[in-house]
Structure 1
Amino acid sequence: MPVKSQFFVFEGIDGSGKTTVSKKVSEILSTKSISNVWHREPTDSVHGQKIREFLQGKLKLSQEEQLKLFLSDREISVQDTILPTLKNGKCVVQDRYYFSTAAYQGKDEEHAADILYMNEDKGFPEPNRVYFLDLSPEEALERRNTRGGKKEVFDEQNEQTRIYQNYLAILPDSTIFVDATADLEEVVNFCVEDILKSLSINV
């Protein structure tokens, strides 16, 4: 069945479940014969690897260096994956985009908005839908503690609160807020149904 290619982005603070949800959404769309590519940022490029080292605390970066790396990595992401996939008539289901960069690297709401404009000025494509998996910083912390794993540079509670507030300030008005405390299957099905509507496919 021919489907118009669209770009779907999943955002949320650490522990909100966006990676798990976006992957499951991508898998279900494939079972419905909707060609799509699951993609994430940071990518596995040289820039993306440096970002991951920074997030894991293995590399020290100034705020300016962080931004430069994110923008360089996103240029590769857009040119090598997002645009070619959309041009080939496939959908992109993406874990994090420039909203994450603005929320995480922004010192406050005003700075986060400046970073968002910086990304938009680069001409990066706008998503058709942005899904924000809404979970309070307190609930997210509880989830991260439960799942364990190594701590990352933004894991502190005050950092997650800053990021959450930045998100609320810079997300577009069209953002679809999804209750991330709901059952995983319920969250995934809600997003899939909304994507099908966006693609004008009867649910």
Structure 2
Amino acid sequence: MSARDGVFIAFEGGDGAGKSTQVGLLAEALRAHGREVLVTRQPGGTDLGAAIRDLVLHGDHVSPRAEALLFAADKAHHVDLVIRPALAAGQVVLTDRYTDSSVAYQGAGRDLGAAEVHDLQMWAVDALVPDLTVVVDVDPAEGRRRRGEVHDRLEAEADAFHAAIREHFLAMARGNPERYLVVDGTQPPDAVHAAVLDRVRATGALDAVDGGAP
């Protein structure tokens, strides 16, 4: 790997798991090692994505199939306009959620079929998958406690919905351990970050610039 190679890392997990905190910590560490980092999120990483995010998470009822299609549209647009160009420029792209969220939330949580939603997502992103997917794992009760009293439309779903999502994230990770890292999100943020950094170092994202300095 050279310093011009882009690296794509996604953070997944249930609502309230602490993904955004870990994205920020990793971005800071990578920049300290000389990497150019793009931090983004789905939905919401483009103007179109922000509109879709507001519609789906804060608007009126959206039918499950329409929800899956809207999230797929967000990802198709986001990948074409943001992610692929950044990777081509040699940046490290960190995204707070990617296709696995749709597979877990709409495929498992909404019971639309994980295989069907996966195929839709892969078509939308033209089969672009992360080099590493970090699943920050907490149980639904802990996630709800952390979120407090304010919930968007998906966060407000019952614990059974969130339990199905959690189990599907863990099942995806078990099925492809070379691409996934599952970390215990109940640990202190610094401990989670240390585990993430160890795995990211193995991708070469740090070594590419400075020869692997800690």
The count of residues paired between Structure 1 and Structure 2 equals 199
Q: Distance in 1 between matches of 2:119 and 2:131?
A: 18
Normalising to structure 2: TM-score of the pair?
0.84
| Residue 69 in structure 1 maps to residue 74 in structure 2 | no
Q: Following TM superposition, by how much is the alpha carbon of 1:47 offset from its aligned partner in structure 2, in angstroms? A: 4.5
- Structure-2 separation of matches of 1:134 and 1:77: 25
Which position in structure 2 is the counterpart of 1:46?
48
Per-residue displacement from partner, 1:8-66 (whole Å, max 9, x unpaired)?
Answer: 0100000100011112211221111111101110024335423333212x222111211
Q: CA deviation at 1:110?
A: 7.3
- In 1, Cα distance between equivalents of 2:194 and 2:168: 27
Gaps of 5+ in 2: none
Equivalent in the alignment of 2:190: 185
Contact 2:104 2:168 survives alignment (8 Å): yes
Distance in 1 (alpha carbons) for counterparts of 2:198 and 2:49: 35
Judged with a 3 Å threshold, the aligned counterparts in structure 2 of structure 1 residues 168 and 37 are, in CA distance, closer, same or farther, namely same
Quick check: 1:45–1:73 contact (8 Å CA) kept in 2?
no
Match of 1:195 among 193, 200, 203: 200
Choose 10-19 or 131-140, whichever is displaced more: 131-140
**Structure 1 alignment gaps of length 5 or more:** none
Maintained 8 Å contact 2:106/2:112: no
> % of aligned pairs identical?
24
Distance 1:121 1:46, change over 3 A: closer
Question: SS of the residue aligned with 1:106?
Answer: helix
Moved more, 3-12 or 93-102: 3-12
- Aligned-residue offset at 1:107: 4.5
CA-atom RMSD in angstroms:
2.1
152-161 or 45-54, larger mean C-alpha shift: 45-54
How far off is 1:191 after superposition? 1.2
1:90-114 C-alpha deviation (Å, 9 max, x unpaired): 1101100000011111245771232
TM-score, length of structure 1 as denominator length: 0.88
Task: For 1:48 and 1:70, locate their aligned partners in 2 and report how far apart those are by CA, in whole Å.
Answer: 11
* CA distance in structure 1 between the partners assigned to 2:34 and 2:49 by the alignment: 33
